[in-house]
Amino acid sequence: MSVLTILEFPDPRLRTKAAPVTVFDAQLKRFVADMFETMYAANGVGLAATQVDVHQRVLVIDMSDERDQPLVLINAEIVEQDGAQVYQEGCLSFPGVYADVTRALKVKVKAQDADGKEFFYEAEGPQAVAVQHEMDHLAGKVFVDYLSPLKRSLLLKRLEKQRKQAASA
Ligand code: NI
């Protein structure tokens, strides 16, 4: 397994729309394992293939404190959604910055596992936020797209400042 490089905003490759996965082979399983390793190494709770410059519809999530509840969703589609919630989101492509985003409270998705087997997955609360956030990445969308122009420019300034501090540390 290996840790992959995570693209950071405003890398234009983050705007790429991912294609459906059609081949469920050993290479895909290795890629899924690498995505988990990359996400855990970065202390993230979710990662989309787009963020590691692979433009296929693969996302991984693990919101557990023990880091022992890995979830992989391949070719995920939202089939039902309900309610609304505001949740403070972060993103591995925006290190050190967070913002409130409004999303559906509950989602039901149809997806495939790494063997290509289809299943339904229902999530609520923070887990539903993660599913929607990662699915957005696969569509070339990032969480700051939901912010007002003013809030977005403040957040991007903060991102710049964090980067400078990290570079000089
Ligand atoms: Ni993200």
**66-86 pLDDT, tens digit each:** 999 999 999 999 999 999 999
Mean pLDDT of the chain: 97
What is the rounded average pLDDT of the residues 136-162? 96
Structural domain that includes position 18: 12-168
Tell me which residues are annotated as active site.
134
| pLDDT (0 to 100) of residue 64 | 96
Measured in Å, residue 143 CA sits from the centre of ligand 1 at 7
- Domain CATH for 160: 3.90.45.10
Measured in Å, residue 119 CA sits from the centre of ligand 1 at 24
| Number of structural domains the chain divides into | 1
Residue 140 has pLDDT above 90, yes or no: yes
Count of other CB atoms within 10 angstroms of residue 38:
21
| pLDDT (0 to 100) of residue 1 | 80
Structure tokens at 75: 């070719």
Instruction: Kindly compute the dihedral angle of the four CA atoms of residues 125, 128, 134, 140, in this order, to the nearest 10 degrees.
Output: -100
